Structure 1
Amino acid sequence: MVLIGVFAVLMLFSAFIGVENTAEQNSIRETYQEQVHDDYVNQPDRNPHRVSHYGYLVFRERPALSFFEFGIESFAGNSIFLEAHRQNTVNLSEAGFSNGMLRFGELSMALILQLLVPLFIFFIGYGTLADLKANGVLKIMLAQGVSAKRLIWGKTLGIFSFTTTVFIGAMLLIFSIAFVAYPEAITPAVLLRSLFAMALYTVYFFICSWITVLISAKSSRGGAALISLILLWMLCGIILPKMAQNVGYALFPAPSKLEFETRITEDLEQVGDSHDPDDAYYTSFREKTLAEYGVDDVKDLPFNYAGHLMAEGERVTTELYRSHFDELIATYTNQNSIAAYLSFINPYLMVRNLSMAATGTDMAHYIDFQKQTEDYRYRQTQYFNELHKNEVDAERSGTQRLNSARFNERDPFEYENRGLFWALSNNVITLLALVFWLMLIVLSFSFGFKKIKLY
């Protein structure tokens, strides 16, 4: 009862901090997003190329369930500046403005359920069979006809049902209070993600209960079982996750931000410079355009060649950047795959990965935000290039201004939220690990547990 009280205080505290932080962060970002948009649409008459360089700042809204599972939210950037000719990264993470204490982790409901509740299960269940074995009661029970399979099944269900009632019940209560306090966060997609998260942790608690009873059955006394369980907890919760991170980085090293941008700059120099009139690629592009329209000079084209050239330069640089970006993401995916494969032997890694995916706080959702903002930036820039091409006089290419109403026609950026199945499709290996653990439990009760070691 004391442990339950301690865990209740921790969960309530972490829930309050999570809900308050998520609501505050989203409120701040929404306020500044409105300010940015108002400044953007209230621009004076301008040259369209100037507007494309004026840019647009997009803030990343925190997912509705990030109050429960922080994931990488504190370490991922929350704003990105969109402008012509440049593909910027998402910047201004909370970790960048915090002290070194953040590296020790943040107290979230998910962290409590993933790391501390298994400890709770171990402490209440380590002696279920080991103590019966030590005092001789287990031998009497087996002699009276109770099968080892039924005994292990009953002890597992006992620990699991108690743990699930307490912690999944608390999880359901806190979710309900959070959604009542912030009803705008409730959508069918969020509810589906919430239900999956509860089901996921229910399975996780059963796996922990099952492991506890198995180790208790294999141990000669309760003290030995407890030591084994604590060592297992340290291995799964501390050593293996850190090892997965280090091994992933060693096998698939990722370039630094400076190296990444340097490689892009070097490749751009090889492709060509649209601002250089003697550049080989763009000279060829000009000759091709002149031949296509049957004229000898760009002044004779039925449009402003400067806008046409800028559109081609934007296309080339965007393709190059996206190619490098995809390579970088492939590297990160390979790094994270180490933890995914270790999920087959470590249920903590399995539940951590799927929990972040279900709540939208994993790397896949962060990358999806970057890709959607990049698509928006490209469409926005090419829209201005088309205006420059078709509505700006070639002789006044750098000075002519268009009515600001032409710039206000563009819709503001809105992130397209992904569904649960999209999120899970990015974690196929971890999902297979979940299926593996379920099959292992089913097979153990179907074909194993013929007898329990009595000494």
Structure 2
Amino acid sequence: MRIHIIRLISIQLWKQSLQNKAVIVLLMILSLLFVFAAYTGWQDYKVQEDTRVKHQVDVRHQWENKPDKHPHRMAHYGYLIFRARYPLSFFDYGLERYMGNSVFLEAHKQNTVNFSEAGFSSGMLRFGEVSTAMILQTLIPLFIFFLGFSCISAERENNTLKVLISQGVRWKELLAGKILGLLCLVGLVFVPVMLLSAVMWFSLTGFKGTVDEFLRLFWIAGAYLIYFFIVCSVCVMVSAVSKTSRSSLVKLIGLWLLFIVIIPRTAQAFGAYLHPAPSKIDFDTKVENELVKTGDSHNPNDSYYKGIKDSLLQAHHVKTVEELPFNYSGYIMAEGEKISSGIYNRQWQKQLDIYENQNSINRSLAFVNPFQAVKDLSTALTGSDFNSYIYYQEQVEAYRYQLAQLMNKLQMENISNKKQQENDKPYTISKDHWKELPDFQYRFIGQRALFQNEIASVLSLLVWALGLLFILHFMSKTIKIN
């Protein structure tokens, strides 16, 4: 192919489009939408993160300044964790509004992450929010279709297509020039958006962004570039095979509705139908029923834990729990925590398997629908996807278990086995021990695990891009002028 011919065709499309006042108006509207979405996302992240840090500091201060107490009382007093957002989540909200913002941690019980913004919002939230990613995924394809629906069909209608071909322009060069011209027009909006996003990300991190965050922003830009190439190629191909511009526009609007509205909604409903998930009440009931079978660690006469007591007495060659070298109640609480956590984790894994089966429907359709692929990859890279939420819950549960077992360990080591009399002062330990619990540090999911989870999305975009290149090559040999 001759590069200078491709460049001339792309420049001609560029100039022709920018001479249209409607295109200029659309560019201005899109620019305003992007500025609005970027600012609201930046402001929302900043407010929430400032609030989270403030409350987390208050919680830690209250925990460390609790008076001398019995360790088991502190285990039930609990700890409050506020979910941190990934700095790039201002770009793509993903599931942010539905994830919940705080979780209360206590012994023997796994609480859910509560106070999601969706729970306090009206039903309008289901229609989506204006985020930078939403505009790029849904409105930019419409903009491309508006620009390119007649890029070749109009040439055919005006009989200028025959002139171009008769003058020696090859179909490959014509198709490539039109695609390049559309991509350059999209770049008028996309490049400033990515630069603005980079500036906002850097400001949100206090100008201390990490390499991981920079690489994620780079991958986001790359994913959307491939996505726009796919959309531009489809637009040019449809225009090339359509006899009239009207039929080209109808086909493109139909494809937009199919890929962006119909297929994603249908896939969600189909996944929930094939793999129904139990409600929270059903899940809690299953956990409770299994816990009942293992006994009650708070009941000294429970038959299951009585067996543990007998084996302890035999192992230490003593006759009563008062003679044990550690606090017997603390040991039983630690065993009870280990058992209850194991039961909860097994049931939770079954729940996750159901969600995984539901999500697999969407992931499999990513090979059919590039919109689904770029959407999943975008939310994953901005830390606002389902896998990031599960990763957070796993860390929270590990921290809750650490808290409970630390309190049980303190009870075993510092509380006497001697039974208290009626007028005895309650057993307590120094509040200095509360500082032994490290503060919760959330680790965001790493890029290796991220791309392993989203391998289908990455492959889908690459397969679509390479497949379209092959189809364009084939079309250039078979397409007709009339």
Common fold: TM-score over 0.5: yes
Q: Which residue of 2 aligns with 1:134?
A: 157
Q: Which residue of 1 aligns with 2:295?
A: 272
Measured after TM superposition, the shift of residue 152 of structure 1 is 1.2
8 Å CA contact 2:86, 2:444 repeated in 1: no
- Closer, same or farther in 2 for the Cα pair 1:129/1:159, shift >3 Å? same
1:410-433 Cα deviation digits (max 9, x unpaired):
211110122323222212222221
Q: Is 1:350 equivalent to 2:409 in the alignment?
A: no
8 Å CA contact 2:165, 2:171 repeated in 1: yes
**1:50 equivalent among 57, 62, 73:** 73
Amino acid at match of 1:96: G
Q: Secondary structure at the match of 1:57?
A: strand
1:320-369 Cα deviation digits (max 9, x unpaired):
10111111112111111111111111111010000000100001111111
Measured after TM superposition, the shift of residue 184 of structure 1 is 4.9
TM-score (structure 1 length as normaliser): 0.96
**For the residues of structure 1 that align with 2:101 and 2:122, how far apart are their CA atoms?**
18
Amino acid at match of 1:453: K
Measured after TM superposition, the shift of residue 446 of structure 1 is 4.8
Amino acid at match of 1:386: K
Q: Which residue of 1 aligns with 2:104?
A: 81
Amino acid at match of 2:75: S
Q: Which residue of 2 aligns with 1:16?
A: 39
Q: Secondary structure at the match of 2:276?
A: coil
Q: Is 1:439 equivalent to 2:466 in the alignment?
A: yes
Q: Which residue of 2 aligns with 1:67?
A: 90
1:11-67 Cα deviation digits (max 9, x unpaired):
001111100011001111111111111111100000000111110000001210111
Range with greater deviation from structure 2 (419-428 or 57-66) = 419-428
8 Å CA contact 2:42, 2:204 repeated in 1: no
Q: Is 1:392 equivalent to 2:419 in the alignment?
A: no
Q: Which residue of 2 aligns with 1:451?
A: 478
**For the residues of structure 2 that align with 1:63 and 1:181, how far apart are their CA atoms?**
10
**For the residues of structure 2 that align with 1:382 and 1:158, how far apart are their CA atoms?**
63
Q: Is 1:98 equivalent to 2:121 in the alignment?
A: yes
**For the residues of structure 1 that align with 2:128 and 2:208, how far apart are their CA atoms?**
26
8 Å CA contact 1:139, 1:454 repeated in 2: yes
Q: Which residue of 1 aligns with 2:251?
A: 228
8 Å CA contact 1:197, 1:358 repeated in 2: yes
**For the residues of structure 2 that align with 1:93 and 1:198, how far apart are their CA atoms?**
29
Q: Which residue of 2 aligns with 1:153?
A: 176
Q: Is 1:327 equivalent to 2:353 in the alignment?
A: no
Measured after TM superposition, the shift of residue 387 of structure 1 is 1.0
Q: Which residue of 1 aligns with 2:338?
A: 315
Q: Which residue of 1 aligns with 2:323?
A: 300
Amino acid at match of 2:437: R
8 Å CA contact 2:227, 2:461 repeated in 1: no
**For the residues of structure 2 that align with 1:431 and 1:289, how far apart are their CA atoms?**
55
**For the residues of structure 2 that align with 1:185 and 1:206, how far apart are their CA atoms?**
33
Amino acid at match of 1:139: K
Q: What stretches of structure 1 of length at least 5 have no aligned partner?
A: none
Q: Which residue of 1 aligns with 2:9?
A: none
**For the residues of structure 2 that align with 1:294 and 1:433, how far apart are their CA atoms?**
65
**For the residues of structure 2 that align with 1:377 and 1:86, how far apart are their CA atoms?**
9
Amino acid at match of 1:307: G
**For the residues of structure 2 that align with 1:285 and 1:265, how far apart are their CA atoms?**
21
Q: Which residue of 2 aligns with 1:402?
A: 429
Measured after TM superposition, the shift of residue 148 of structure 1 is 1.9
Q: Secondary structure at the match of 2:81?
A: strand
Q: Which residue of 2 aligns with 1:30?
A: 53
Q: Is 1:372 equivalent to 2:395 in the alignment?
A: yes
Range with greater deviation from structure 2 (107-116 or 126-135) = 126-135
8 Å CA contact 1:360, 1:423 repeated in 2: no
**For the residues of structure 2 that align with 1:181 and 1:299, how far apart are their CA atoms?**
57
Q: Secondary structure at the match of 1:80?
A: strand
**For the residues of structure 1 that align with 2:156 and 2:105, how far apart are their CA atoms?**
67
Q: Which residue of 2 aligns with 1:117?
A: 140
Measured after TM superposition, the shift of residue 399 of structure 1 is 2.6
Q: Which residue of 1 aligns with 2:453?
A: 426
8 Å CA contact 1:149, 1:451 repeated in 2: no
- Closer, same or farther in 2 for the Cα pair 1:370/1:411, shift >3 Å? same
Measured after TM superposition, the shift of residue 284 of structure 1 is 2.2
- Closer, same or farther in 2 for the Cα pair 1:182/1:275, shift >3 Å? closer
**For the residues of structure 2 that align with 1:162 and 1:115, how far apart are their CA atoms?**
17
Measured after TM superposition, the shift of residue 166 of structure 1 is 2.5
TM-score (structure 2 length as normaliser): 0.91
Q: Which residue of 2 aligns with 1:241?
A: 264
Measured after TM superposition, the shift of residue 297 of structure 1 is 2.5
Measured after TM superposition, the shift of residue 158 of structure 1 is 1.4
Measured after TM superposition, the shift of residue 280 of structure 1 is 3.4
1:351-410 Cα deviation digits (max 9, x unpaired):
000000010000111111111011011011101101111210012579310000011122
Equivalent residues, number: 455
- Closer, same or farther in 2 for the Cα pair 1:273/1:341, shift >3 Å? same
Measured after TM superposition, the shift of residue 443 of structure 1 is 2.5
8 Å CA contact 2:268, 2:362 repeated in 1: yes
**For the residues of structure 1 that align with 2:204 and 2:388, how far apart are their CA atoms?**
25
Q: Secondary structure at the match of 1:275?
A: coil
Q: Which residue of 2 aligns with 1:164?
A: 187
Amino acid at match of 1:70: Y
Q: Secondary structure at the match of 2:105?
A: strand
1:193-252 Cα deviation digits (max 9, x unpaired):
111111111111111000100111111111111111111111111111110110110011
Amino acid at match of 1:406: H
Measured after TM superposition, the shift of residue 447 of structure 1 is 4.7
**For the residues of structure 1 that align with 2:207 and 2:46, how far apart are their CA atoms?**
11
Amino acid at match of 1:173: L
**For the residues of structure 2 that align with 1:453 and 1:337, how far apart are their CA atoms?**
41
Q: Secondary structure at the match of 1:384?
A: helix
Amino acid at match of 1:418: I
Amino acid at match of 1:50: R
**For the residues of structure 2 that align with 1:184 and 1:278, how far apart are their CA atoms?**
60
**For the residues of structure 1 that align with 2:353 and 2:184, how far apart are their CA atoms?**
41
Q: What stretches of structure 2 of length at least 5 have no aligned partner?
A: 1-23
Q: Is 1:174 equivalent to 2:197 in the alignment?
A: yes
Range with greater deviation from structure 2 (291-300 or 10-19) = 291-300
Q: Is 1:415 equivalent to 2:419 in the alignment?
A: no
